[in-house]
Chains A and B, each alone.
Chain A
Amino acid sequence: LSNEKLKLVEIDKFPREFTLVNGLPDVGLVGAIAASYMVKNLKMWLAGYLDSDLMPPVLVFHDEKPMMPVRLYAGESIVVLVSEVAIPPDLMPELAKVVIEWASGKGVKRVVTLGGIPVPNRIDIEKPLVVAAAILEEDRKFLKDLRLEVLKEGFLSGMYALMAKECMRRNIPCITLLAQSHLNYPDPGAAASVLEALSKMLGFPVDVKPLLDEEEEIRLKLRELMKRTMSAVRAAPKGYEHTPPLMYA
């Protein structure tokens, strides 16, 4: 599947029915850390990639093998979108369109986006809270039944909003899980919180202890990706999450 700017290429099989989990780099790298932890721990296989001339001109090598930096991993009933590069702001709308259009054609059951909501007092928070934003009424009820906090008033912005808007246009169930996080430091603690919420939602067991045990190593290793992601985040119109919406327009 492709449009002028971006193409999605399948290189292996995908499950017939699946939940698509987006974990692209954004504030605190929350979604990216959580998604890569899933890929590592849920025995997923590389099934596709996204490519564009507008992506950063890089090719990633793992175990001596070349890989595209933005990839899709498939499992029994989950597909995870991960990226090892910051997504250029100009490419974000196209990426959301291509991914959701592709997922829609594949019969996706639900789209879940993982991310962080920056809070200035993150340093004082032991266990970050998670707030969930849902497009459909039945999903909001589903989240409340799971005792997850549902976004009542406020904005989604950046990549999270683009994914949710594409799903809304196509009436695809979409949930965005956002954990309280650092803005510009990798935040494995926040990633653990969104993974626990996702585990409740999808019913798969997830042990976040190894992730929390590796917290310092992750903070150390992801400094460069965090720095590049912040330059993309600053260029994108983000930061609306703390803005109260206009009520009576």
Chain B
Amino acid sequence: MEDEFFDLFRRIRREVDRMFREMEEMFIYPMFDLRSRSLEPLVDVREEVDEIVVTVDLPYVRSKEDIDVRFSGGQLIIEARMCRHVRYPVMGGCRDAEFNRFRTSIPLPNDVEIEGAKAVFRRGILEVRIPRRVRRFRVKVE
């Protein structure tokens, strides 16, 4: 009973953390990281009943061999190498920084089955489909 309570509490906390992080990302942080020399790509997360569909816009990424998709600590981590270095204005355009990769981490809900995930890269857009654990029950219509 105690375990169940703390498990539920941890799950709620993780969900709240995820929501706050999304809000913070939306309003505060720039979309680049000077330390890792990486750009943050645009990401769309769609939560369906039986799967999570994550799409990522990756301009200047040429092939699937340049993309690394992995799961760690409840997050989907995506890294991709661009085909060239791009200069991006920082410090109000007074300085340019050079980047050649994208990196993003996307918090996932608890009910995903990461072993069943599939990814496709087409026309500069990566799509990752991750199935969710779903209890299926068919209701007989009378």
Q: Which residues of A contact B (CB under 8 A)?
A: 61, 123, 182-186, 215-217, 219-221, 223-224, 226-227, 231
Contact of A220 (CB < 8 Å), options: B26, B30, B59, B92: B59
Q: Would you call A123 and B123 a contact (CB within 8 A)?
A: yes
Q: Pick 18 A–B contacts, CB within 8 A, sort by A.
A: A123-B125, A123-B127, A183-B44, A185-B42, A185-B44, A185-B57, A216-B59, A217-B59, A217-B86, A219-B124, A220-B60, A220-B88, A223-B31, A223-B40, A223-B41, A223-B42, A227-B42, A231-B26
Closest to A224 in B: B31
Q: A216-B124, A223-B41 are in contact. Are A61 and B92 (CB under 8 A)?
A: yes
Q: Mark B1-31, 1 if CB is under 8 A from A, else 0.
A: 0000000000000000000000000110011
Q: Does B73 contact A (CB under 8 A)?
A: no
Q: Would you call A226 and B42 a contact (CB within 8 A)?
A: yes
Closest to B99 in A: A220
Q: A61-B92, A185-B42, A216-B59 are in contact. Are A224 and B30 (CB under 8 A)?
A: yes
Cα of A61 to Cα of B60 in the assembled complex, Å:
27
Q: Does B122 contact A (CB under 8 A)?
A: yes
Cα of A123 to Cα of B126 in the assembled complex, Å:
10
Interface size, B (range): 20 to 34
Contact of B39 (CB < 8 Å), options: A215, A220, A231: A220
Closest to A220 in B: B59
Cα of A194 to Cα of B126 in the assembled complex, Å:
26
Closest to B60 in A: A216
Q: Would you call B44 and A184 a contact (CB within 8 A)?
A: yes
Q: Would you call A219 and B44 a contact (CB within 8 A)?
A: no
Q: Does B93 contact A (CB under 8 A)?
A: yes
Contact of B57 (CB < 8 Å), options: A217, A219, A221, A231: A219
Contact of B42 (CB < 8 Å), options: A123, A184, A217: A184
**3 cross-chain pairs, A with B, having the tightest CB-CB distances, nearest first:** A216-B59, A219-B59, A185-B57
Cα of A223 to Cα of B26 in the assembled complex, Å:
12
- The residues of B that contact A61 with a CB separation of less than 8 Å are 92-93
Given A184-B44, A217-B59: 16 more A-B contacts, CB < 8 Å:
A61-B93, A123-B127, A185-B44, A185-B125, A186-B57, A216-B59, A219-B57, A219-B124, A220-B39, A220-B59, A220-B88, A223-B31, A223-B40, A226-B42, A227-B26, A227-B42
